[in-house]
Amino acid sequence: MAYDNENIFAKILRGEIPCDKVYESQHALAFNDIAPQAPVHVLVIPKGPYVSSDDFSANASEAEIAGFVRAVGDVARELGLADPGYRILANHGPDSGQEVSHFHIHIFGGQNLGRMIKPPEQ
């Protein structure tokens, strides 16, 4: 899948639409999810044009990968989540229900999150 420069996170990175920023580094930007699914729900995105975790893991540079992984941990610590705990999640492709085609990691926290995932209702 080719990267779409008009996806909503690309527009946020270019400053064309606002976001509720919580963190920025050379390689990553983090902001609050617009439709939070937990008391804390933050998205961390790389600054480079990667469609998903699959694209990022295959094609990003070592520096981008290291910078991004560091950023995810930094964001969680800065939000005070390291001690109570949190969950990270990344969707890739149709079966995951990925909606925005710019790689992002969700950080969920602020409450007991239960066990993993629930299958869709039949």
Helix (H, G, I), strand (E, B) or coil at 86: strand
Q: Does 8 bind ligand AMP (CB under 6 A)?
A: yes
What is the torsional sign of CA 106, 109, 111, 114?
positive
Rounded Cα–Cα distance for residues 96 and 91 (Å): 5
**Residue carrying structure tokens 């920023």:** 21
Q: How far is the CB of 92 from ligand AMP (least distance, A)?
A: 9
Q: How far is the CB of 91 from ligand AMP (least distance, A)?
A: 4
Q: Kindly write out the interface string for residues 82-111 of this chain, putting x where it contacts ligand AMP by CB under 6 A and - elsewhere.
A: ---------x-----xxxx-----------
Rounded Cα–Cα distance for residues 68 and 66 (Å): 5
- The stretch near ligand AMP (CB under 6 A) out of 29-37, 64-72, 77-85, 112-120 is 29-37
**Residues ≥6 apart with Cβ < 8 Å to 57:** 65
Q: Does 35 bind ligand AMP (CB under 6 A)?
A: yes
Q: Which one of 33, 53, 69, 74 is in contact with ligand AMP (CB under 6 A)?
A: 33
Residues interacting with ligand AMP, by CB under 6 A?
Answer: 8, 19, 31, 33-35, 43, 91, 97-100
